[in-house]
Structure 1
Amino acid sequence: MREVDLVTIAGIISTFIALLLAIFIFSVESKNKISNKLFASFLVLNALEFSSWFMHLFIEEPNNLVNKLLIAKDLLAYLPMPIFYLYILSVCYSDFKLKWKHLLHGVPYLIANLVMLPRFYLTSTAQKLELFEEYNHLYEIIFLHISLHLQAIIYLTAGFIILNKAKKIFLENYSSSTIATYKWLFQLLLFTSLLYAVALIKNILKYSGEVDVFNNAQTIVVLFVLGIVCWYVLKALRYPNLFSGVDSKLVLTQNLADDNDIMQAPNNTNQIEKLISYMETEKPYLNPSLSLRNLADQMEMNSRELSIIINQKLNQHFFDFVNGYRIKEAMDILVDPAKTDETVLEILYEVGFNSKSSFNTAFKKHTGKTPTEFRKSV
């Protein structure tokens, strides 16, 4: 009977959950179809990778075809990180589209197959088995390990750069509490980075000759993977539509600040007064999906000029600027004797928030107290 240990069990569970979640994401109706398909593809490819931990249960006697299929499956490890990177782009930018140039991300996969061609694809089963006796010391395998980890570092670094830029654009142009989307992506990048760091240490230990240490590291990696896959499920349940993004054509105000016609316009003071008056009288911030472009259209202003006024002249992100008015509105309701029956949940929706956690965070940032504490103090 073939051995079934903790690694095998965790591998089976991780694979099953990842495939189940992928099927759900592929089938769910959403306006973010590209993001969903990319994330589901990422899960499927990872599920194939996880299957290595229990594949021995189903393979009796390896033959030439089976060996080739196993090698081809292992080389699919070059595809998850490019797809993961494209997924981050698709979530950050609502106008993201797949293009032919994105196929260039598959070049490392093609190179890896060419490297494996002479001695792995084109040899007999007996020759392959002979090679496997020194498997970890073959130049092809060493090349695969180094290139895969290098690829992961490059794509994870690029992911953090893209996310940081998107978050800045979001703060300067959007007011909704979907900032949670960016927190989720940051956590996703962080956990994935930790996973690849542990995997890197595990592969280094593979060459140290310490079998027990390597086996322990392998167990840690498998359990880490299982934890992350379960976390994917929890997040997918919380964000079933898998996010909306920002327009990639938007630019940061620091890149607009050199426009002398705007920055030196003589009516900046009047425009600021007009903006404040409009916010106080018309209360556009009550719209939870208010964006800088929406506000500029309502005020019949140039959106670039409005962005510079808020982010440069008032020295605030649009996100904080709008939330400041929402918090002030909430404070007025909390101290109003006629509205003591309104719950905090009712109030946060009334003033333009759509998340209790983001409302509490913003409220405490502006007042130093939670909404409940503020209500009790007055």
Structure 2
Amino acid sequence: MDKLVLILPILIAGIFGLVLYKKSNWNLNQYKILGHYFLLYAILFSVMAVIGFFNEKDISNNFVNFSSLVFYIIIITIPPTFYLYVTTLSDLKKFKTKVLQHYYLPGALLVINCFSFFFLTIHTDETDYTIELVSNIMTYTNVISLLFIFPLQNVFYIFKTIQIYKNHTSEINKVFSYETDIDLKWMLHYIIGYIIFIACLYLTQVSSEEVIHTGSRLFLSVYLLYIGVKGVKQKKVIFYDTDKETQKENLEDNTPESESALKKKIAVALEENELFLDPKLTIHKLASKVNSNSKYVSNTINNEFNQNFASLINRYRVDKAKQLLTDDTYANYTIESISEEVGFNSKTAFNKAFKLLNEITPSEYKLKEKTNKSS
């Protein structure tokens, strides 16, 4: 049982790392970055297992020493990788040209540790002052990395990751009329789980209690399994429409008059053409239909309709749903079927939007209207 708990996070991280690498087609995208993240965990727990095994046997050799040095390198490589994964989940944050700068510190520590290890392996004269100097530099560098650089990295990258998540949640209502597969709510679990992992890591370093070590490995196993399943399914969220045909860049200035005219076009598209019935409607599609630019459409919705894109579309969908809920033609339709008819892609989203606008659920509204008709 103890051996299974020891190797479980290694197996989960290793398998998901390879699966994600394959899914990435070896391109620098969200799958490859998450693959890095998993393989770093696999290496980290592998070297910790090696160090723990040989320490129990009271054996010290070059392999153990090298594993210890790898531990310090991996530990300061995980935080930037944790952050970079979130930046790849949408096109809100540009990352491609800035990846390497996040790995300068791990790269520097890799050079120092590799040079020191091979130098100390080759040179065995204990009276040589150079050996003591190299050994001290290696030791102090690794201690500083673990006690100072690693905590500072985590504070910085966790803060930046939360910022990106908050920005993402605020922007989706401006572009999308739906949340399924794009709201990234599971990223909260990704962030919280990582914070708990950091706490567990420090606890296992200062405590020899078996229950702490076993509990930490079990938690990490569950965390990695959950993130792996979610990460394999998660596609990149595209906020910006790159289709030139739908982006009219050479429009006249966005004056109050043009906003007023654009408001009428938007109203026609939604009220007469019922564009809101499209469950995958985005502001780019709406902009294309009214022969405008998504930025202008967004500004017009904010200024003329006094709400964001998602709220406007949901209002039209809910109004349509209210008609269907009281229409005898749809008497045998379930609430979920009605939600699909008006453009919602989940019953949960429909209930949430309906209650927000009417202070009662669709079922309560249907029953209320039925009672009113009877009386």
Query: What TM-score results when the alignment is normalised by the length of structure 1?
Result: 0.77
Matched residue, 1:184: 186
Q: 5 Å matches for 1:1-378?
A: 5=2, 9-28=4-23, 34-55=29-50, 61-93=59-91, 98-99=96-97, 101-116=98-113, 120-124=117-121, 139-145=140-146, 146-178=148-180, 180-200=182-202, 202=203, 206=206, 211=207, 217-236=212-231, 240-247=232-239, 261-262=253-254, 264-378=255-369
- Separation of aligned partners in 1, 2:300 and 2:211: 57
Q: Is the 8 A contact 1:156 1:189 kept in 2?
A: yes
* Structure with larger Rg: 2
Cα pair distance change 1:196/1:315, threshold 3 Å: farther
Percent same amino acid among aligned pairs?
22
- Separation of aligned partners in 2, 1:300 and 1:73: 57
- Count, aligned residues: 346
Instruction: Tell which deviates more after alignment, 351-360 or 83-92.
Output: 351-360
Cα pair distance change 1:88/1:361, threshold 3 Å: same
- Separation of aligned partners in 1, 2:365 and 2:122: 74
What residue identity is the alignment partner of 1:22?
Answer: G
Instruction: Tell which deviates more after alignment, 20-29 or 142-151.
Output: 20-29
Q: Is the 8 A contact 2:50 2:67 kept in 1?
A: no
What residue identity is the alignment partner of 2:85?
Answer: Y
Q: Is the 8 A contact 2:47 2:71 kept in 1?
A: no
Q: Is the 8 A contact 1:35 1:91 kept in 2?
A: yes
Matched residue, 1:253: none
1:341-368 C-alpha deviation (Å, 9 max, x unpaired): 2223322222222233323322332233
| CA root-mean-square deviation | 3.6
1:283 CA displacement? 1.0
1:109 CA displacement? 0.5
- Separation of aligned partners in 2, 1:46 and 1:141: 19
Higher RCO (CA-CA < 8 Å; seq separation 6+): 1
**Unaligned 5+ runs, structure 2:** 125-131, 243-251, 370-375
Q: Is the 8 A contact 2:318 2:353 kept in 1?
A: yes
Query: What TM-score results when the alignment is normalised by the length of structure 2?
Result: 0.78
Say which SS state the counterpart of residue 122 (structure 1) adopts. Answer: helix
